[in-house]
Structure 1
């Protein structure tokens, strides 16, 4: 059951500060009043719900719909090995489980597959890069119920950021489930007497309430830093702020792609090479997850859903990474 409005406002003001809470809640209220979005997102297809049935109809007529539905449930585990000169030696082999774009309340088959995969995975921390619910407005009870089932299968610690589908009203409940939400904030992660820093920003794609400066303000100079952002569109700002690794999602890798995983659209203002998988920008490594769930219609073509295990390595360590090596 969703908390009452006064309770949520009070909790969020205490958690985030009055300005951030009021700003985000006000922007969300404007969005729900207009439905179709604002600015660059005007008549955004995710918000134009009358078109969704038309899209489903087109794919059913094409004969691709049911194949796409089957593909959307075929969640895969991908792995990367990321090598950094600045990674503290104590963090050699530190593994992050990266999950993005769950849309838990509209992807039952994908969630069932994810539930099968999670118990067997070994990792040191889990990061969730947003879009927990399917809709962009309205009730979120079903999304929280779905997240409760997923969180019960995750090992602590778990960190997350909000996506453009998520309301900030979900934050207290998500944190009650054990997810440390990062909203323009950072946390240190320690091993022995060494630390790395994990920062996360509020949604930069639709609500535009992100602040990398605020998120990074408490990070000591020359620290190894990881940025969580729902969208990779902030890659320039993150790189020039000195982050070593940017983990994001949002694009779904296109979700419906041409053969060869060529996306028809990425719904993002960024180079296509940043739309899925590993990439580099200046001294920063990035990874854009294609996500677990699906948006608009529950189908995928030439773009299988994924979760990813990122194995971090020090450039000074003597390791054998096999075929998965990707030097940062």
Structure 2
């Protein structure tokens, strides 16, 4: 499943990215550096399917992703976004990876503050998360697990959770990160019952075709940042490995099942502190039963 990327390819992409930023002269530079990264777009999307039980009709899912706390994105911003998420009255909250930008640089005081902020998130049907590549990077695997569990999140690493409402249920599956982890669809599906609606959390969007062939109905991802910098009529200049096919927004992917994929642009930045035509995002999904 892993892909190999040469040093030359990485340098070429970084050069293109850097040159594009130099092109954002004057006011464009100031906007991309200081204004757009602090903006917020809330997208609301209905998700309908014949396998969604009637008792899940109008249940609200809020997804946030890619905060990268510590690289330009502050704990004050995280606190503000937590308040925003709670104001949306979610039934479920999903975090799709990359909480800290550099876990190896994160001190105990910041860790405790991060936990106290994330604990404030409220969702009656639960809070769930998966690993991103930055969560594994910098010896962060155990730190991220500790933070999320102490914050009241269930961390899904190639496993599933049965979500129940009245006498009905759907399943939430979570994959390990594709770049630095070992994702396994077979392990994630091991306890899943047949004829249930399946939602997948995968930090990497480009696993969607494999997910469609694994019988998944709805996949939520992050990782791409929407390219972080886009050009008009062209779109994202560069996206990371495993976010090169599906870059942002909604897609319909055909496989063994018809899968709906949504790629969230995330809240923070990484590598360079710029966003241009890629506004930070929180997404609200409302489940619609067709029964």
* TM-score, scaled to structure 1: 0.75
Q: Provide the residue aligned with 1:244 in structure 2.
A: 217
Specify which of 160, 175, 184 is matched with residue 129 of structure 2: 160
Match status 1:120 vs 2:87: yes
- Map of 1:4 onto structure 2: none
Contact 2:222 2:264 in 1 (8 A): yes
Q: Alpha-carbon deviations, 1:76-101, whole Å to 9, x = none? A: 21110011111111111111110111
**1:259 CA displacement:** 1.9
Match of 1:62 among 25, 29, 45: 25
Please list the CA deviations of residues 226-275 of structure 1 after superposition, one character each: whole Å capped at 9, or x if unmatched.
00000111111111110110000000111100125711112234664x21
> Following the alignment from structure 2 to structure 1, what is the Cα–Cα distance between the partners of residues 177 and 286?
26
- Equivalent position to 2:182, from 183, 195, 209: 209
Answer 1 or 2: which has greater helix percent.
1
On the 8 A contact 2:60/2:91 being kept in 1, the answer is: yes
Q: 1:165 Cα deviation (Å)?
A: 0.5
Distance in 2, matches of 1:177 and 1:87, equals 29
What is the CA–CA distance in structure 1 between the aligned matches of 2:6 and 2:105, rounded to whole Å? 22
2: CA distance between counterparts of 1:55 and 1:110? 26
Secondary structure of 1:236's counterpart equals helix
**For residues 268-291 of structure 1, what are the alpha-carbon distances to aligned partners after superposition, in whole Å with 9 as ceiling and x for unaligned?**
34664x211111101011100011
Q: Are the counterparts in 1 of residues 119 and 152 from structure 2 also a CA contact under 8 Å?
A: no
Q: Distance in 2 between matches of 1:260 and 1:121?
A: 32
Q: Deviations over 1:22-50 (max 9, x none)?
A: xxxxxxxxxxxxxxxx962554999x9xx
Superposition deviation, residue 314 in structure 1: 1.1
Question: Equivalent residues in 2 for 1:221-300 (5 A)?
Answer: 221-260=194-233, 262-269=235-242, 272=245, 274-282=246-254, 283-300=258-275
Give runs of aligned pairs for residues 121-136 of structure 1, distance below 5 A: 121-135=88-102
Q: Is 1:184 aligned to 2:158, yes or no?
A: yes
Task: State the TM-score, normalized to the length of structure 2.
Answer: 0.84
Q: Which residue of the partner structure matches residue 89 of structure 1? A: 54
Contact kept in structure 2, 1:103 and 1:295, CA below 8 Å: yes
- The CA distance in 2 between the partners of 1:78 and 1:112, in whole Å, is 20
2 CA distance for matches of 1:301 and 1:61?
9
Deviation at 1:55, TM superposition (A): 4.6
The corresponding residue for 2:4 is 40
Contact 1:100 1:290 survives alignment (8 Å):
yes
Distance change in 2, residues 1:57/1:90 (3 Å) = closer
Indicate which of 268, 288, 291 corresponds to 1:313. 288
- Give 5+ residue unaligned stretches, structure 1: 1-37, 317-328
